[in-house]
Structure 1
């Protein structure tokens, strides 16, 4: 009898973006700030170095300017760049919509990195993380999921089986911690 494979989800919230001012940029078109650009690169260095050892199979990126820029700057720091898909359903997605997108991943995908937004990421990570070191779970909960922050979750089974409390929070990191 074989064990269920372990799947990993890496949630990367977009880095700091220009403030909401629809007279300058519609929300979807808001670019990163200077700090955001630096933080996105720093996040890439963390993922490539001291962060958890990740072998990314797939990257899903919201179509907003700030998420695309975050991925571009993060990816530039990685030794290998996995294929990225720009997914319109990730823009402004809530936890339920994010769970639906993850549930549709091919079964040969072991590790996915998703670049997206709050409050969906905060809600999804909090909902999924039924296990993991208490200090990590508290840090995630109290931070609200910082910009350029990364949550790494793992769970056994298929993508279709993913649901509340099923995952373990393995890491939570941000340039602001």
Structure 2
């Protein structure tokens, strides 16, 4: 069984309207949320064989804060294709993952991550899937599992096992307008 954890970058800073989108970092709330998610991953025993992420500054800073909460370096591979990618492009990235990897963390942006999760996981009345269908907030993780190889992953072939928003762990971190 393969396990894919999708992490949307944390809340970014919009203080400088002239700044390039790629160069926007995190705001204070985003840093707190990312560190909290890192601690949640650690306490849940998550161990990643690979981490693939967008090189956008807000993703780099999200992973730095996740690592603080997680308690160790994750050793991300930066893949420019993930920056503002569509679900189709993200699926291509996932299907190219090393076959020996069993649990991978993919860190990127919306709407691509949300679209990918909705595409891979069939609709159901289960609470995590319903929450996913409503909104995929910043610094949220969606964990999916499926049988087969990374190349076999296809729409509707996965099961959502966890959907955790920062506000689920600390109510002061949500809801927000992202």
- The two structures have a TM-score, normalised by structure 1, of 0.89
Work out whether residues 131 and 169 of structure 1, in 8 Å CA contact, stay in contact via their aligned partners in 2: no
Work out whether residues 124 and 130 of structure 2, in 8 Å CA contact, stay in contact via their aligned partners in 1: no
Give unpaired runs (5+ residues) of structure 1: 1-5
Aligned residues: 168
Query: Shift of residue 22 of structure 1?
Result: 4.2
Aligned counterpart for 1:11 among listed residues 2, 6, 10: 6
In the aligned structure 2, how far is the partner of 1:20 from the partner of 1:174? 24
Q: For residue 167 of structure 2, what is the aligned residue in structure 1?
A: 176
Structure 1 pair 20–161 and aligned structure 2 pair: CA distance change class (3 A): farther
In the aligned structure 1, how far is the partner of 2:110 from the partner of 2:104? 18
More helix, by proportion: 2
Matches within 5 A, 1:127-138: 127-130=119-122, 134-138=126-130
- The two structures have a TM-score, normalised by structure 2, of 0.89
- Runs (4 or more) in structure 1 with deviation over 2 Å come to 19-22, 79-83, 130-133
1:47 aligns with 2:38: no
Query: Shift of residue 76 of structure 1?
Result: 2.0
More strand, by proportion: 1
Work out whether residues 35 and 70 of structure 2, in 8 Å CA contact, stay in contact via their aligned partners in 1: no
Kindly report the root-mean-square deviation, in angstroms, between the aligned alpha carbons of the 2 structures.
Answer: 1.6
Q: For residue 85 of structure 1, what is the aligned residue in structure 2?
A: 77
Q: For residue 150 of structure 1, what is the aligned residue in structure 2?
A: 141
Q: For residue 161 of structure 1, what is the aligned residue in structure 2?
A: 152
Query: Shift of residue 132 of structure 1?
Result: 7.0
